[in-house]
Amino acid sequence: MAIAETSTAASATSVADFGARPAYQGEAFRALVEWVEEIAALTKPDRIHWVDGSQAENERLLADMVEQGTLIKLNEQWRPNSYLARSDAGDVARLESRTFISSEKEEDAGPTNNWVAPATMRETLTPLFDGSMRGRTMFVVPFSMGKVGGPISQLGVQLTDSPYAVASIEVMTRVGEEVTALIAEGSPWVKTVHSVGAPLADGESDVSWPSNDEKYIVHFPDSLEVWSFGSGYGGNAILAKKCYALRIASVLGRDQGWMAEHMLLIRVISPEGRHYHVAAAFPSACGKTNLAMLRPTIPGWKVETLGDDITWIRPGDDGRLYAINPEAGFFGVAPGTGATTNITAVETLHGNVLFTNVALRDNGDVWWEGLTDEVPEHLIDWQGADWTPDSGRPAAHPNSRFTVSAAQAPSISADWEEAVPLDAILFGGRRATNVPLVVESFGWEHGTFIGATISSERTAAAEGTVGELRRDPFAMMPFCGYNMADYFGHWIEMGGKAERLPAIYQVNWFRKNDDGQIMWPGFGENSRVIEWIVRRLEGKAEAVETPIGRIPAEDGMDLAGLDVPDETMREIFSIDPDSWLAEADLTEEFFDTFGDRVPAALRRELAALRERLQTAKG
In angstroms, the CA 381 to CA 375 distance is 13
User: Within 263-402, where are the H helices?
Assistant: 288-292, 343-348
Long-range contacts of 510-513 (CB under 8 A, 24+ apart): 510/286, 510/429, 510/430, 510/431, 510/432, 510/457, 511/431, 511/432, 511/433, 511/435, 511/436, 511/437, 511/571, 511/572, 512/432, 512/433, 513/568, 513/571
Site pattern 473..512 for ligand GTP (x: CB under 6 A): ------------------------------------xx--
- Of 7, 102, 290, 305, the residue at the interface with ligand GTP (CB under 6 A) is 290
Query: Known catalytic residue: 480?
Result: no
Stretch that binds ligand GTP, among 55-63, 153-161, 334-342, 378-386 (CB under 6 A): 334-342
Kindly identify the residues of this chain, within the stretch 230-289, that bind ligand SPV according to CB under 6 A.
234-235, 241-242, 284
Instruction: Work out what residue 242 binds among Mn ion, ligand GTP, ligand SPV, none; the CB cut-off runs from 5 to 8 Å by kind.
Output: ligand SPV
Regarding 518 and contact with ligand GTP (CB under 6 A), the answer is yes
Contact 431, 455 (CB under 8 A): yes
**Closer CB to ligand GTP, 491 or 509, in the complex:** 509
Assess 331 for contact with ligand SPV (CB under 6 A): yes
Rounded Cα gap, residues 89 and 71, in angstroms: 16
Residue 227 contact among ligand GTP, Mn ion, ligand SPV, none, beta carbon within 5 to 8 Å by kind? none
The answer to whether 286 contacts ligand GTP (rule: CB under 6 A) is: yes
The DSSP secondary-structure symbol of 500 reads B
Interface pattern 246-285 for Mn ion (x via CB under 5 A): --------------------------------------x-
Between CA 63 and CA 71 the distance in angstroms is: 9
- Name the H helices within 114-246: 118-129, 163-172, 177-184, 234-237
Segment near ligand GTP (CB under 6 A), from 251-259, 297-305, 332-340, 543-551?
A: 332-340
Using left for φ > 0, alpha for ψ between -120 and 50, and beta otherwise, residue 363 falls in alpha
DSSP state of 226: E
Handedness of CA 258, 261, 265, 270 (dihedral sign): negative
Nearest alpha-carbon partner for 349 in 171, 496, 517, 215: 171
Q: Please work out, in degrees rounded to the nearest 5, the angle formed at the alpha carbon of residue 611 by the alpha carbons of 610 and 613.
A: 65
CB of 400 to ligand GTP, least distance (A): 11
Report the residue from 88, 170, 225, 309 that binds Mn ion according to the rule CB under 5 A: 309
Binding mask 553-582 for ligand SPV (x = CB under 6 A): ------------------------------
Nearer CB in complex with Mn ion: 140/477: 477
**Cβ atoms < 10 Å from Cβ of 38:** 10
Question: Torsion over CA of 238, 239, 242 and 246, rounded to 10 degrees?
Answer: -140
Smallest separation, CB 490 to Mn ion (Å):
20
Yes or no: say if 439 and 292 are a contact pair by the CB < 8 Å rule: no
Rounded to a whole number of angstroms, the minimum distance from the CB of residue 458 to ligand GTP is 12
Candidate list 94, 361, 397, 610; residue touching ligand SPV; CB under 6 A: 94
Under the binding rule (CB under 6 A), the answer on residue 288 touching ligand GTP is yes
Helices (H), 461-599: 484-494, 527-537, 566-572, 577-592
- For residue 587, the minimal CB distance to ligand SPV (Å) is 23
**233 scored as a contact of ligand GTP (CB under 6 A):** no
Cβ at position 296, least distance to ligand SPV in Å:
24
For residues 473 and 495, give the distance between their C-alpha atoms in angstroms, rounded to a whole number.
17
Q: Residues 147, 179: contact at Cβ < 8 Å? A: no
Report the residue number, 246 or 419, with the smaller CB distance to ligand GTP: 246
Given ligand SPV, Mn ion, ligand GTP, none, residue 199, with its beta carbon under 5 to 8 Å by kind, binds: none
Of 286, 324, 476, 494, the active-site residue reads 286
How far apart (Å, rounded) are the C-alpha atoms in residues 443 and 449?
A: 10
Provide CB contacts within 8 A for 205, sequence distance 6+.
none
Taking CB within 5 to 8 Å according to partner kind, which of Mn ion, ligand GTP, ligand SPV, none is near residue 509? ligand GTP
The correct pick among 282, 322, 488, 590 for binding ligand GTP (CB under 6 A) is 282
Q: Does 426 bind ligand GTP (CB under 6 A)?
A: no
C-beta of residue 247 within 8 angstroms of C-beta of residue 101: yes
Which are the catalytic amino acids?
A: 286
Which residues contact ligand GTP (rule: CB under 6 A)?
282, 284-290, 308-309, 332-333, 335-336, 341, 461, 509-510, 518, 522-523, 526
Which residues contact ligand SPV (rule: CB under 6 A)?
94, 234-235, 241-242, 284, 309, 331, 461
